[in-house]
Amino acid sequence: MVTFAPLGSESPHTSQWQLLGINLPRGRQHDGFMGNDERMRAQPWVDAATPPTPSSDLRAERGVGGYRRTTSFRTRRSQLSAAQQRTWERLWPEIGYVATSGHNPEAPAEPLDTHAWFGRDAPLVLEIGCGTGTSTLAMAKSEPDVDVIAIEVYRRGLAQLLSGIDREGVTNIRLIRGDAVDVLDQLIAPGSLSGVRVFFPDPWPKARHHKRRLLQPETVATIADRLRPGGVLHAATDHSGYAEQIAEVGDAEPRLTRLDAQADTVISIVRPVTKYEGKAHVAGSAVTEFLWESGPERTRP
């Protein structure tokens, strides 16, 4: 069950809720960790007529050779339940895409037509690594006038989100399965996003794996390019080392400006507490959240 923490509530861990030194009221900052939430760390083009096979992962579907670069997610296989498979077959062709990695001659030359996909023009948010979609579903329900594209590598997580969309009757979510870097490069038009959410990306804690972290300078630069003026990059991590890297990379991007926790934003920054974050709160783990706003390029000192 998802709960929203009330503003102004007290907690013994209040001192740990911070936006790099800026205290956040509860409801805008929570303790949590990645857990078994199946949160991915990246995703990519799609042909709705050719959904992936139930038992294969993205690497298997793409054949020998795999990905053209280091990715920020782990290879994983999973089976869907019979009910999930039925929901997938019924809903995926309408609200899901499978993105392809690398230079695909069959990939479209133009970005996604989100007006046609959603059937309206509305502020557009991209969530990278939606996991099983707990936060995605709750935040989309709280903002029915905002359209959300959720990206995830793992099919089972997307299937769980599809089931939630079906159960709750939510109409403002679309799904992409694949690598987020490819999605940003190939499918998202510059200046088209009101927000990008990256909640608990894989921290890849070992030093030799840091190159696999999603929020590298190149990716953050692409995100800044895809945000419209006033658009928001909202990130959260429970890993202190990754928090330091995210802060450094985000602050170094000249088109992004750090926001105060109380700033007015074009999209909601109230993030629901998942059960996995609840466990982390009990364990005393701290979460650091980051907010940046897109604007004119700053002059470097």
Looking at 202, 238, 251, 260, which residue is catalytic? 202
Annotation marks residue 202 as catalytic: yes
Identify the CA nearest to 178 among candidates 88, 87, 36, 47: 47
Strand 288-294 vs strand 256-258: parallel, antiparallel, or unpaired?
antiparallel
Residue in the structure block whose two tokens are 């990278």: 128
Distances (CA, A) of 185 to 45, 193, 266: 10, 13, 23
Distances (CA, A) of 252 to 216, 223, 285, 292, 298: 11, 13, 27, 11, 10
Spatial strand order of the sheet with 124-128 comes to 96-98, 173-177, 147-152, 124-128, 193-199, 227-237, 288-294, 256-258
Q: Name the H helices within 143-269.
A: 155-168, 180-186, 217-226, 240-252
- Furthest-apart CA atoms within the chain: distance in Å: 58
Assign 3-class secondary structure to 113-142: CHHHHHCCCCCEEEEECCCCCHHHHHHHHH
d(CA 253, CA 101): 26
Q: Three-state DSSP class for 212? A: helix
HSE-up of 269 (CA within 13 Å, CB side)?
27
Distances (CA, A) of 30 to 3, 107, 159, 258: 11, 39, 26, 19
Q: Which residues are catalytic?
A: 202
